[in-house]
Amino acid sequence: MHEMSYVLRLVNLAEEAAREQNAKKVTRILVSVGETSGVLPEYLHKYYKKAVQGTLLEGSVLETEANPVAAVCKDCGTSYHPEKEHRYACPACGSNRAELSGGRGVRLMNVEIE
């Protein structure tokens, strides 16, 4: 149920951004959901309508986009999507030394206002 805390945080961020622009209403927000975040987009959608009641976002649409995991090999510099079947190793050199460069967290990407 940690998705509800994410929804509330996103609503607060979007409302703050809308108020800074003197908006009367938010019509749509776009949220990026990282593959490794542990957050399920369907639950964000489930809790959204309740979370926006009484805010500038009431009646707005929540859109989510997946942010896939990306890694950069520390040995050869190759960017890749780590795959379990390859034991998350670099497909170019086989190294297991990598740094994640994408696919983490939940981020508010865009707020559409009136």
3-state helix, strand, coil in the chain (%, to 5): 30, 30, 40
Q: What is the pLDDT of residues 43-87, one digit of tens each?
A: 999 999 999 999 999 999 999 999 999 999 999 999 999 999 989
Query: Residue 39: pLDDT above 70?
Result: yes
**pLDDT at site 94:** 96
Report the candidate in 16, 11, 22, 23 with the shortest Cα–Cα distance to residue 113: 23
Q: Which amino acid is at 70?
A: A
In whole angstroms, what is the distance from residue 40 CA to residue 89 CA?
A: 26
Model confidence pLDDT, tens digit, residues 1-18:
578 999 999 999 999 999
| Stated pTM of the model | 0.86
Q: How remote is the C-alpha of 37 from its chain's centroid?
A: 8
CATH fold, domain 2-71+103-113, is hypothetical protein PF0899 fold (3.30.2320)
